[in-house]
Amino acid sequence: MKIKKYSIGVDLGGTNLRIAAFTHDDGLLETILLPTRLAAGREAVVDDMCTAIRTLESRYSAAHELTGVGVGTPGPLELPAGVLHNPPNLTGWDGFDLRAAIESRLNRSVVLESDANVAALAEAILGSGRSMHLDSLCMLTLGTGVGNGIILNGKVWDGAAGMAGEAGHATIYPDGIPCPCGSYGCLEMYASATAVVRAANHRIATGTAPALAGSTWTAHSLADAADQGNMDAKQIFVDAGRALGISLAALVNTLNLPLYVVGGGLAQAWHLMKDTIFKELYQRSYVYRFTAPGSPLATRNPGGTTHVLPAELGPDAGLLGACILPFAESSLG
């Protein structure tokens, strides 16, 4: 009997810690879900992670061969070192050598990537990239912030220090909203779940959204209100779509990838943003106009088409991407 190769993936988040065993044929074999005990300190969190990894290893290594362990972590993550640099979602972890902390406990090497990069890898290998037979893509993950990952020819593009894929902090409005990153007008300030709630509250406070006044909003309830015809709620998503369209136009013009994917929780409001996204893309990117589905170029040369789509994978993208990491190869710029 041939022994199946499996991997163990870790999705380290600011709230939850998920550890799973995975094979290409069977997907997630088993997932261990733990709280991320930030209050107990980073060493305790790594202890929890490594205990779970060893639990899965003891359970699956009899019948399977372990290819490796992949870890997706909130960034900024320096590679190849594996050191975190002031990660906003892991307070107190600045300068933490996450790679050394894990590898010394497991006594084996692990593959590390930022969470947005592993989500993009999963989308490329198991999501829309697989469906479209395309192995290069740029993904924007709209959650608390805006994550970004770039996959070129099937590999994560890490950049020189592992910090590629921060298009969420590209400037959209140069004199716009101050961002915790130190800049102004970052995409993240306009197109994250946090941003649409902030925009609603700002409009309520300035009296420019009477149809929203008197309620407390979440990104989800705003989308529901928009779906039910609330014009002020609809405008919030039009504004988010404009920022996304400006960002995507720049990314299309710069990289001309065959596939751009929008994921994360706020992507559930794709239908509320897409008209504005494509209007901006058409206006701001002649590369997009030349290569959009249905254009003469795309009709003649389907491989040259630019596809812009909502992500196929849901909240498991980060965990699946971490599981794939040991099978994939990263590309250092």
Give the binding site for a second copy (CB under 8 A).
76, 78, 81, 85, 136, 148, 150, 152-153, 157-167, 169-174, 181-184, 242, 246, 249-251, 253-258, 283-287, 289-291, 297, 300-301, 303-306, 331, 333
Nearer to a second copy, 31 or 295 (CB): 295
Give the contacts of 75 (CB within 8 A, at least 6 positions apart): 84, 85, 87, 114, 115, 116, 163, 166
Q: How far is the CB of 215 from a second copy (least distance, A)?
A: 30
For residue 170, CA distances in Å to 10, 253, 286 come to 28, 14, 20
208 vs 254, beta carbon nearer a second copy: 254
Considering beta carbons, is residue 182 or 229 the nearer one to a second copy? 182
> Which position has the token pair 């969470």?
115
181 or 238: CB nearest a second copy: 181
Nearest Cα to 330, choosing from 159, 166, 167, 141? Answer: 159
Provide the minimum distance between the beta carbon of 159 and a second copy in the complex, in angstroms, as a whole number. Answer: 2
- For a second copy, the closer of residues 200 and 246 by Cβ is 246
Name the helix (H) or strand (E) containing 290. helix 286-291
In the sheet that holds 155-156, the strands lie side by side as: 155-156, 146-152, 137-142, 259-263, 307-310
CB of 214 to a second copy, least distance (A): 32
- Could you tell me the smallest distance in angstroms from the CB atom of residue 234 to a second copy? 20
Smallest distance, Å, CB 2 to a second copy? 35
* Residue 265 Cα distances to 21, 25, 79, 126, 182, angstroms: 24, 27, 27, 19, 25
